[in-house]
A and B are shown apart, each in its own frame.
Chain A
Amino acid sequence: MRHDHLITSKQLSRADIETVLDRAAEIDADPSAVADRHANTLLGLLFFEPSTRTKMSFETAMKRLGGDVVDMGSIESSSVKKGETLADTVRVIEGYADALVLRHPRQGAATMASEFVDVPLLNAGDGAGHHPTQTMLDLYTIRENAGLDDLTIGIMGDLKYGRTVHSLAHALTNFDARQHFISPESLQLPREVVYDLHQSDDGPGIREHETLEEVLPSLDVLYVTRIQRERFPDESEYQKVAGEYQIDLETLEAAADDLTVMHPLPRVDEIAPEIDDTAHAAYFDQAHNGVPVRMALLDLLLADGGDLDE
């Protein structure tokens, strides 16, 4: 199966995912072996939304492969401010770069942009839609800590707008994973995502919950996302649910000793700092894994037009 672009985790088979994760593990073990592999390669960074980890890890990944980046810069200083369309922007930058990374506030932006370019395009987040490269580093972290088969995972927080959650949930249907989604009713998974998960033949099913307590003891992994305060129309409504979705050491007393706690970051108050020094905490390793995983993705997509089954 060939992929010229990486738009959504839905396009990836189990074999595709394992190819990327295995390549990332090779690179992680010996980064110097690929230090010059993509010398003279330029990666175009088009970030129409703020980003720290994703943008910097792509930049780091490209430079560690021997290449470099060209950066569109801030929206305020770009032609976007003059009213240029995304379609025109990507067609122009395609002329400068060998591959493009796009983050955009509108859903479907990466899908549309990919129709206008021939170089590989990686979706680094399209509104509340998808964030497939985050998913690959999430899967890498899960595989390192708990394995990807016979997995019971709880995904908790803002599931409605959380694009990392949508991409991860789709990808996990390739594996023998039981997925429990924990959120306030107002932040449940979009029905479109639920529709897709139910369409999947491979997954053992999903369940939705409003409280963590009922599923916590059975979990191998707890993936926490930030409840986005700004999404609530009423501050009092936020206050009703915010406390219920924070975890601390007392919360984890009911969890398995080997529970892995993950978070795509940034966190606010969902995970108490006292958890950071426990064996449960995997979120900083998770962030660090962004570099080898994105090195692997770039390496595979830049090699002969992008064959993930190389």
Chain B
Amino acid sequence: MSNDGGGETGGDHQLRVSKIRSGTVIDHVRGGQALNVLAILGIDGSEGEELSIGMNVPSDRLARKDIVKVEGRELSQDEVDVLSLIAPESTINIVRDYDVIEKHRVDRPELVEGVLSCPNSECITTGDEPVTSTFDVLEDGVRCAYCETIVRTGIASLIDT
């Protein structure tokens, strides 16, 4: 299996996002969400990660999609699952020596911890308490496990960066 990084339409756009030797390719991310994907994974390049990002490239399935490639790091299942909150259609390719050795779709986790900030300013988690934000994942959104606020849209804006 070749490491094509999700270049489903072929052609020169594959070249815009270089192949990686080993690591993770997150493909079929909804157009414009690539930076949020990195934020939700806590990847900001400060650890020296080698990143390649393609944004708004043509896609048969999504019309426009983003692609994120992380060199030298294989995402854990927990990390993959949390992507479902903002990139439910994404696929995850684990690459070793330029070959895709595993291909996953994301599954919605039951809860996410320490990833999102509660938008309710009256929630106990928004103060100075030593508490980790926790959200239960609903079919159509997320819910704060403390104040119970439900968020259905704009979840990416809650990412705790």
Contacts and interface: CB of A to CB of B under 8 A. Distances in A.
Partners in one complex: yes
Contact of B147 (A83, A87, A115, A129): A129
Contact of A108 (B128, B130, B147, B150): B147
Interface in A85-141: 85-87, 104-109, 111-112, 115, 126-129
Interface in B78-129: 120, 122-125, 127-129
B53 to A, nearest CB: 36
B124 A106 contact: yes
A202 B144 CA distance: 24
Contact residues of B: prevailing secondary structure: loop
Contacts, number: 55
A105 B124 CA distance: 9
B123 to A, nearest CB: 5
Given A108-B147, A191-B150, A85 B122 contact: no
Given A129-B148, A192-B150, A195-B150, A107 B120 contact: yes
Contact of B148 (A83, A104, A106, A107): A107
B130 A111 contact: no
Contacts of A86: 124, 129
Given A85-B130, A87-B130, A106 B123 contact: yes
Interface range on chain A (Cβ under 8 Å from partner): 20 to 34
Quick one: which of A107, A112, A127, A195 has the most chain B CB within 10 A?
Answer: A107
Given A87-B129, A87-B131, A192-B143, A109 B150 contact: no
A129 B122 CA distance: 10
A108 B146 contact: yes
A128 B122 contact: yes
Contacts of B146: 107-108, 111-112
A112 B129 contact: yes
Interface in A190-245: 191-192, 195
Given A112-B146, A192-B148, A106 B127 contact: yes
A128 B148 CA distance: 11
B149 interface: yes
B123 A107 contact: yes
A191 B131 CA distance: 25
A159 to B, nearest CB: 15
A111 B145 contact: yes
For B128, B145, B147, the residue with the greatest tally of chain A CB atoms inside 10 Å of its CB is B147
Contacts of A104: 124
Tell me which of A85, A105, A106, A126 has the highest count of chain B C-beta atoms within 10 A of its own C-beta. Answer: A106
B131 A112 contact: yes
Contacts of B148: 107-108, 129, 192
Nearest to A111: B146
Looking at B120, B124, B143, B145, which has the most chain A CB atoms within 10 Å of its CB?
B124
Given A87-B130, A192-B143, A107 B150 contact: no
Contacts of B123: 106-108
Contacts of A107: 120, 122-124, 146-149
Contacts of A127: 122, 147
A105 B149 CA distance: 16
Contacts of A128: 122
A261 to B, nearest CB: 29
Given A85-B129, A87-B130, A87-B131, A112 B124 contact: yes
30 contacts: A85-B127, A85-B128, A86-B124, A86-B129, A87-B129, A104-B124, A106-B122, A106-B123, A106-B124, A106-B147, A107-B124, A107-B146, A107-B147, A107-B148, A108-B146, A108-B148, A109-B124, A112-B124, A112-B131, A115-B131, A126-B124, A127-B147, A128-B122, A129-B147, A191-B150, A192-B143, A192-B148, A192-B149, A192-B150, A195-B150
Interface of A: 83, 85-87, 104-109, 111-112, 115, 126-129, 191-192, 195
Interface of B: 120, 122-125, 127-131, 143-150
Q: Can you list the 10 inter-chain pairs with the closest CB atoms, starting with the nearest? A: A108-B146, A107-B147, A108-B147, A108-B124, A106-B124, A109-B124, A112-B124, A192-B148, A112-B131, A111-B146
Given A85-B129, A86-B124, A108-B125, 18 more contacts: A85-B128, A87-B129, A106-B147, A107-B120, A107-B122, A108-B123, A108-B146, A111-B124, A111-B145, A111-B146, A112-B125, A112-B129, A112-B131, A127-B147, A129-B148, A192-B148, A192-B149, A192-B150
